[in-house]
Structure 1
């Protein structure tokens, strides 16, 4: 079963590889410039370069320690930092803004966007880089969801929230891989070519909601809320008549690929949702209750059944341990089910879960009992946000390395008749 769980994850990733998805949506017209940004930047660029080998490009992937990047004939590769921007993120932002501003109205810009672009492509507006770095870290630790985080980031950026589209006279075809629940294009990489429905006032409200005190940021947002700074481009504005934003891959597609894998092996499969959000702890509580109901009453599904779910959990960090939302989800699932455990896998499709080298972890039916035999106090580990330590001790981390994919979270639970 362990091998099946891992194989289902690998199959889903292979079926939704960014190069494969990108190739199916490339234009017939040769673009004047290709810009590829995000965790899947190099995979998406590879598909575009195969079709348009002589078109100049700028690629902004996530920097990886020790990686030697290919020679950028005819273009530039600018690896940058994620999830917190760095100086290279700013260099990348400046290069992209300069390049798109030089395009002509009759030319086509091909923009390839995947998750992570909010940090990788950075053009601070109204604040300096150190402040933006601290702000990003605080937002990510606050428990705010991605819509709230990006509402703030869009209003301190010269690129995000449709501002990249406003910076060029060219026509734009933007291909988006979604890493956000609900596939809202305005949220993916903070929607550089997408109309922004959020406002300065809403960004201020996010800071208030989570008690984040950043005077420089607040001063900038207050100016905007008072109308002394230009808002981000809104739905219906004329500039978007020359922009086509197209969703080419999503968490739902990832889950459907996994469903096919399990069905081909004779399993009954249910996709619960691709849009789960909220605290990993509460998401685990819901899944645990569902497992118990299935086992006790064969409702709402008759066991055995494979449950698939996606979306993006959040974690309000209060401890000093290592973890990620997928490892935390599984550790809380183990805590709620205890000795009534099951086989399950939870992982981030990009291969990196939180601040750890693991993509996620695997839960076994006997994980709770094994932890007790080893003297592990799961409750204490969870309160220290150290789910990584729990699964590391059990030998159940899932380590894939970066996958070149980024379609949000992947969860699979195999519910049998036990309990």
Structure 2
């Protein structure tokens, strides 16, 4: 079963091709001297510049260079540490930290802001945006510091807040997020997006630097209260948010000039559909259950286990042999001091729920190749996982309670290690039932 599951995993990842996605949408009409994307046309009256930010920056830029080539006068890439590559043309590569920002995140953000502010009215900026941009570019608003942003980011990441909520906070502590970068550009920005947010909500993807922001300072206050963080965040941050609620400082932009254009070119849904197609080719019945998987990882796993058992024993809502496919992104509330990620924790919880049942296999993995602060994308589990662990003297429940799923699956050699994929379209969960 694992060989079959690997084939489905590989097929889904191959479809998450940022370079091809850019080339599928970006077109240069040499005769008319226009950049075209679907039904939108942009006449080239000035210079063309490029900015690429996020985990998919290298392949997205390769795609843009193949379309526009020497037309790109200058560009910048901002990528996480460890993401390396070579590009033709006048493209400068900047590295910074993810998921927690650092000094280079602030430095890179200032470089980007200066670059965008330097564009003239007739210039065009091709902005290639993908997951990770929120941390890679971190430029605090007046009154707060980078350390304040680092502290609040750590708090938000450890409390199971949804990415939309985390980025709502980030936008209101930033000089460039939530549409503010677009406001500072005199030229035209064409933003092509590889989405890592469920439902492709544009103002949440990398905190939406070039689109209107749907959230407010009042929302930020509500989010921090919801997760019992209001009293834990730095005092300067509370002061800033209160000023925003009272209208003493401007809100993030709720309108962006129509000269700017944004298009999602790749998302989780494409990978899910490719996984389903591959499973069918392999002779399996298929059910794409949802592309909106959210919630606490260990609890979501229990629901998935329940559905898998329903299929196994009652052939409902699909008959074995089959593949159950889900997409989305769960969260983890840190209670222990172990090492792991949301996918590995989901799989460990699933293993506990289906122990002793033959003919079940599950994989859950991050499409960027990195699940949490680990070198693994996710993990595998079947009905024999718990028994194997116990033979090694491991108690699965103890590992789960300590958020130590990485070391659990490392011992069993059940980690999914694929390395950096240079893309990020959330997570994929695939269960095989026979």
**Which of the five TM-score ranges fits, normalised by the shorter chain?**
over 0.9
Deviations 1:369-391 (A, max 9, x none): 21122221011100000111111
Equivalent residue number for residue 333 of structure 2: 316
The one of 132, 137, 158 aligned to 1:116? 132
* TM-score, normalising length: structure 2: 0.92
Corresponding residue number in structure 2 for 1:130 = 147
Q: 1:59 to 1:123 in 2, by over 3 A?
A: same
Q: Report the secondary structure of 2:263's partner residue.
A: strand
3-state SS of paired residue (1:94): helix
Match of 2:162 in 1: 145
Which runs of 5 or more structure 2 residues have no equivalent in the other structure?
29-34, 36-43
Cα distance in 1 for partners of 2:306, 2:8 equals 24
CA pair 332-307 structure 1, distance change in 2 beyond 3 A: same
Query: What does residue 283 of structure 1 align with?
Result: 300
Contact 2:377/2:417, CA 8 A, preserved across alignment? yes
1:15 aligns with 15
Match of 1:218 in 2: 238
Aligned to 2:4: 4
Equivalence for 1:371: 389
Select between 293-302 and 157-166 the one with higher mean Cα deviation. Answer: 293-302
Corresponding residue of 2:224: 207
SS in 1 for 2:407: helix
Pairing of 1:239-278 with structure 2 (within 5 A):
239-278=256-295
Report how far residue 5 of structure 1 moved.
Answer: 1.7
Question: 1:161 matched to which residue of 2?
Answer: 178
Q: Which residue of 2 aligns with 1:33?
A: 49
What does residue 303 of structure 1 align with? 320
The answer to whether the 8 A contact 2:286-2:318 is kept is no
The yes-or-no answer on 1:177 pairing with 2:194 is yes
Indicate the residue corresponding to 1:361 in structure 2: 379
Deviations 1:305-335 (A, max 9, x none): 1001010000001100001000000000011
Count of matched residue pairs? 411
CA contact (8 A) 1:13 1:405 kept: no
**Which ranges of structure 1 fall in alignment gaps of 5 or more residues?**
none
2:98 is aligned with 1:82: yes
Report the 3-state secondary structure (helix = DSSP H, G, I; strand = E; otherwise coil) of the residue aligned with 1:158: coil
- The secondary structure found in structure 2 opposite 1:109 is strand
Conservation of the 8 A alpha-carbon contact between 1:252 and 1:274: yes
In the alignment, which residue of structure 2 is the partner of 1:228?
A: 248
Q: Cα deviations across residues 91-124 of structure 1 (Å, max 9, x unaligned)?
A: 1111111111111222211110000000011111
* Distance across 1 between alignment mates of 2:84 and 2:25: 29
User: Normalising to structure 1: TM-score of the pair?
Assistant: 0.95
Alpha carbon RMSD of aligned pairs, Å?
1.4
Give, in whole Å, the separation in 1 of the partners of 2:10 and 2:153. 31
> Partner of 1:269: helix, strand, or coil?
strand
